[in-house]
Amino acid sequence: MKRFFSALVLLLCLGGGCAFAEPIEERSPSCRVWLNGKEMTTVYETAVNHNRVWTENPKLSLTPVAIATCAGPCEIEVEFLNADVSSVVVRPLSLGIQATVEGGRVRFSLPEPANVTVEHNGQVEGALHLFLDEPDVDKPDADAPKVRYYGPGVYTDVMITPHNGETIYLDEGAIVYGQIFSGMSKNFTIAGHGVLCGSIYDRYKDTLVPISLTNCSDFTIQDITILDPSAWTLNLYKCKNATIDNVKIVSARSNSDGVTMQDCTGITVKNCFIRSWDDSMVVKNYTGVSSDIVFENNVVWTDLAQSCEIGYETRGKTLENVVFRDITVLHNFHKPVISIHNSDQAAVSHILFENIVVEDAQMGEGDGWPYLIDLTTTESQWSTSLIRGTIRDVTIRNVQVLSGKRPSIRIWSSGEESAIDDVFISGLHILGEEITDFSQLLCEFSPYNGENIRITK
């Protein structure tokens, strides 16, 4: 393991492969950030993807990411070095942050640490991703038993397998190139305010998932930032009883889904920031049961594919009791915000989408679909079952679209044996209009749908 005690800019070549950037000065070449009057040193650049059509080797862009801990109120100053800034928006809008632009610098205050984006001149290109956390009050001792500690610095080709009862801690200022994986561990913690990065790995030769856990239970993943994975970002398979809390993700390459899980039970994903170039939050099942899964109080930015997705791989027996609650979608450019795609044989039921705010709805760009809500039981390129399953007992409640394009709804059953039924939509507001009847929107309905599909106030 090589260790370098300086930070670096995370550079990625424009093709599917990538190159390792030698350590250089800590400051990003496009952005400077001051926190409470002191210039931040942990300001990196990572790959993002503004393409709205899936390709194997997309052309990538770079955007700044600043990471720090801060106790109490935070005074922020930002200077975009390659732009004459005339306007700025700080998201999520629910924070009510009013920024000023003066003397070439953006200034605003946060009442407490938060994960925000700072977008200038009405564009998403070059937006600053600012991830601020409270300092750890119970930070583990680096030399304590069952603690693997990665302090400030750069670590290359690190492969970590958590042991039972162990804590893997990436401290602020640490950048770890590698993977955390396990085939059967329990009672462990992955934590810290450092970075787990995949930019040195090739998309197709390496296909390295930064966090890949199978048959694990009773674990916590919290606070870390994951940048530029070469494949899926954080994947759980056959895991149970776990919490993912305040994890920050920015991905760019093909199939770089955010948080994915298959055949899992008892998983909570909360307080996270997820920007992905494929599905942001997704539940599938391959062979067994997926159930009792909660996504709560997360902020997402979906450059390609879906924001809140169930499917397409639904090959197991049942997929049930899944909740997406208190979700803020900063931007969605390509496919639906809310979707259930049952393209195999599972019985999908008891699904709740509640309190979802879409700040910028741009669905349908590129080769995408213009749906806000998309429920289907149709065959797909990922189908392996000869028959399609069903979708039942879906509640979609209190969804707001604040700006962007006027979206549509699709609810499409492939046949009577794979009907979609018992779908209840209420509290839907689109661009300031309350939607209480499907006639107010462009909708696509299958003749095989059940009779109990309703929309109300």
The pLDDT of residue 5 = 30
Decide the pairing of beta strands 105-110 and 100-102: antiparallel
The pLDDT of residue 429 = 98
The pLDDT of residue 445 = 98
How far lies 298's CA from each of 22, 47, 269, 281, 403, in Å? 34, 21, 8, 10, 19
**What's the pTM value of the predicted model, to 2 decimals?**
0.94
Q: What is the mean pLDDT of each run of 10 residues along the chain (457 residues)?
A: 34 32 54 96 94 95 95 96 95 98 96 98 97 95 96 94 98 95 97 95 94 98 96 98 98 97 98 98 96 98 98 96 98 98 98 98 98 98 95 98 98 97 98 98 98 97
CA–CA dist 323, 325 (Å, integer): 6
Query: What percent of the chain is predicted at pLDDT more than 90?
Result: 92
313, 345 contact by CB (below 8 A): no
116-140 CB burial, b ≥16 within 10 A, e <16: bbbbbeeebebbbbbbbbeebeeeb
The pLDDT of residue 27 = 63
Q: Where are the alpha helices (DSSP H) in 265-325?
A: none
DSSP string computed for 81-133: TT-----EEEE-GGG----EEETTEEEEEESS--EEEEEETT-STT-EEEEEE
The pLDDT of residue 24 = 28
pLDDT 10s digits, 420-440: 999 999 999 999 999 999 999
Decide the pairing of beta strands 234-237 and 443-445: unpaired
pLDDT 10s digits, 391-421: 999 999 999 999 999 999 999 999 999 999 9
Query: Tell me, what amino acid is at 186?
Result: K
The pLDDT of residue 196 = 96
CA–CA dist 177, 174 (Å, integer): 10
The pLDDT of residue 82 = 87
328, 371 contact by CB (below 8 A): no
Q: What is the residue extent of each domain of the chain?
A: 2-133, 279-457
Q: What is the CATH number assigned to the segment(s) 2-133?
A: 2.60.40
